[in-house]
Amino acid sequence: MRRFFVALAFGFSLAFALSAPAGAQEDSAAENPADPMAPALEAYRAGQFEKALLVATPLAEKGNVSAQLMLGSIFNNGEGVTPNPEEAARWFKKAAEQGDAGAQYALAMLMEYGRLKAADPATARKHFRDAAEQDHVAAQAELGLMYTTGRGGPQDLAEAAKWFERAAVKGNANAQYYLGTLYAAGKGKPRDLGEAARYFGLAAGKGQPQAAYQLGLMLQDGVGMDKNPARAADLFEEAAQKGVLGAQTSLAFAYLNGEGVDRNDTLAAKWFAEAAMRGDSLAQDRLARLYFLGQGVTRDISAALLWLTLAERNGMTDETLRSAIEPEITPEIRAAVEAEIGKLEKAGSAPD
């Protein structure tokens, strides 16, 4: 929901800016008394959501699109009220039926990510398309994603590429990333690693973490561009800090091997631990090795066994470590580790 809240808040602000009279975007709502929504806008911007709701509701009921958008935003985001996605969808639908692209996008987002009772992927795709055809950039990116996955209708990678490209040229970072993946895979676009790298670079420059990770992989191996381990490590760290699982493991290996960065076993252990806690089996196995060797961490056979066991349960096989660790495992250690894993599984937090 956090992603949707941010996207909706931006779309909501933009919708009001576009619906305001010329020059009013830079003025306060109080300076435009002819606009019946001015008091509601002023209250909303001041965080007085109850007042905004009181003023906007009768206007929304009379068909004012800006008021309908405001109510949808207030109910979706829980601004001064209990969050109510169903009520938010009702108001967005009213505005969407009047052809408002922002409302069409918001309604589609609620259907896809807001867990509406009557959510329908096909209807969400239709609303994304309605907004996309009005040049709503975020809707174009979402529509491309639906064509990529085949959600809400037939899969069509060429159509996906078309919509990603339309959004990408307008600077949408997600569309740039997705378009890069199509070029890299040669699906929907001819395979072109140079173009893939270019789009990953554009998206990464705007803070898109998955693009930073993919560009890092290409730089690490010299795929589609000159090899640059130092830049790759920088990109891995950027993506790892934003929670990209693969980037966390890749950054840990960079520190472990001194590839693009000074070797640092402590930081390697830190990033393996981050990824291991989120269920990456390779990170779990390498963290187990570090605990067994006392490399970057204090040697701890119990911790080594714990992470090795979790890695094995997630499909990783490490016969070398298993053979090395077995002679040091006492019945007490084995029982303690099994008990700890049992607690994690019971709490529903076992990394897998």
Per-residue pLDDT tens over the stretch 286-344: 999 999 999 999 999 999 999 999 999 999 999 999 999 999 999 999 999 999 999 98
Which range among 8-22, 43-57, 74-88 shows the weakest confidence by mean pLDDT? 8-22
Contact 280, 248 (CB under 8 A): yes
Averaged confidence pLDDT in the chain: 91
Q: What percent of the chain has pLDDT over 90?
A: 86
Q: Which two tokens stand for residue 19?
A: 């619906």
DSSP string for 147-202: HHHTTTS---HHHHHHHHHHHHTTT-HHHHHHHHHHHHHTSSS---HHHHHHHHHH
Interatomic CA distance for residues 216 and 201, integer angstroms: 10
User: Interior CA angle at 189 toward 187 and 192, to 5°?
Assistant: 100
Interatomic CA distance for residues 305 and 337, integer angstroms: 7
Alpha carbon 181 to its chain's center: 16
Mean pLDDT of 202-221: 98
Which band of pLDDT confidence, cut at 50, 70 and 90, is reported for residue 20? very low
- Higher per-residue pLDDT: 12 or 192: 192
Q: Which two tokens stand for residue 132?
A: 């996309």
Which band of pLDDT confidence, cut at 50, 70 and 90, is reported for residue 114? confident
For the chain, the structural domain boundaries read 1-119, 284-352
The set of residues, in sequence order, having a beta carbon less than 8 Å from that of 85 and lying 6+ positions away, is 75, 76, 110, 114, 115, 116
Residue 266: CB atoms within 10 Å: 11
Interatomic CA distance for residues 56 and 72, integer angstroms: 11
